[in-house]
Amino acid sequence: QVQLQESGPGLVKPSQTLSLTCAVSSVSVSSGGNYWSWIRQPPGEGLEWIGYILYSGSTNYNPSLKSRLTISLDTSQNQFSLKLSSLTAADTAVYYCARSTSVGGWKFDPWGQGTLVTVSS
Amino acid sequence: DIVMTQSPDSLAVSLGERATINCKSSQSVLHSSSNRYYLAWYQQKPGQPPKLLISWASTRESWVPDRFSGSGSGTDFTLTISSLQAEDVAVYYCQQYYSPPLTFGGGTKVEIK
């Protein structure tokens, strides 16, 4: 079955850029009908959708983050990535990657295990 | 943006009793062409990612026990656990997948009384 695994630095300094990667197994990130999303959850809080990239490479970002955000595909490594710039403490969260499909709509299944990112000097 | 409002924030229910969680969307999430509600429920246990529980407002995933049910219409939806078990202790989230930005409710924490 499809599995996703996030990786990246656990600690990033304020004003820097966060780079995370989501490795995908059992399906190609460029196979039709798949949407690849990033979602985050501040400690003890709820869930916020960050954005998705389609199998074709087109993207849709949450307007609240759009000016700081880039999501890209790396088909050679079968993964997709997130870059979030100008970090502040408010960006401290567990970051998840997840899949949606064109058949199933933009619900998320499965999810990766998540990676905690702390923004602190 | 479609705002999802869940209630209550938390509830404590005795084992074997019913738990009911409400979710209200700020606008319709009914897709007219398919006549389906683009509303999902997730279960999140401590230290784990959310797990898809119910989609299309009422369709259980294959792994979900039948004590879980989803219902609703218009802009009001409900997740019901008919007979709470110890393993159901979790935070439950609703999510609209009708239109981006995709949005979640604030979550409801279910505990044992």
**What span, in angstroms and rounded, lies between the C-alpha atoms of A31 and A35?**
10
Q: Which pair of tokens denotes residue B85?
A: 């078990």
Position A116 scores a pLDDT of 98
Bridge pairing between strands A79-84 and A93-101? unpaired
Position A104 scores a pLDDT of 86
Q: Decide if A107 touches B, using CB distance below 8 A.
A: yes
- Which residues have a Cβ under 8 Å from the Cβ of B34 and sit 6 or more positions away? none
Average pLDDT rounded to a whole number, residues A16-40: 96
Position A28 scores a pLDDT of 95
Position A103 scores a pLDDT of 87
How would residue A54 be classed by pLDDT, with cut points 50, 70 and 90? very high
pLDDT tens digits in sequence order for chain B, 113 residues long: 999 999 999 999 999 999 999 999 999 999 999 999 999 999 999 999 999 999 999 999 999 999 999 999 999 999 999 999 999 999 999 999 999 999 999 999 999 99
Hey, which bits of B1-113 come out as E strands?
4-7, 10-13, 19-25, 30-31, 36-37, 39-44, 51-55, 59-60, 68-73, 76-81, 90-96, 103-104, 108-112
**What span, in angstroms and rounded, lies between the C-alpha atoms of A49 and B71?**
24
Q: Which pair of tokens denotes residue A7?
A: 């990786």
The residue to which tokens 């949407």 are assigned: A35
- Picking from A66, A65, A103, A85, the residue whose alpha carbon sits closest to that of residue A12 is A85
Closest-CA distance of chain A to residue B48, Å: 7
Position B89 scores a pLDDT of 98
Cα A66 from chain centroid?
13
Write out chain A residues lying below 8 Å of B93, CB-based.
46-47
Q: Do B49 and A62 touch (CB under 8 A)?
A: no
Average pLDDT rounded to a whole number, residues A91-114: 95
Average pLDDT rounded to a whole number, residues A73-81: 96
**What span, in angstroms and rounded, lies between the C-alpha atoms of B50 and B87?**
15
Closest-CA distance of chain A to residue B31, Å: 11
CB A38 within 8 A of CB A50: yes
**What span, in angstroms and rounded, lies between the C-alpha atoms of A13 and A26?**
34
A102 has pLDDT over 90? no
Q: Do A100 and B106 touch (CB under 8 A)?
A: no
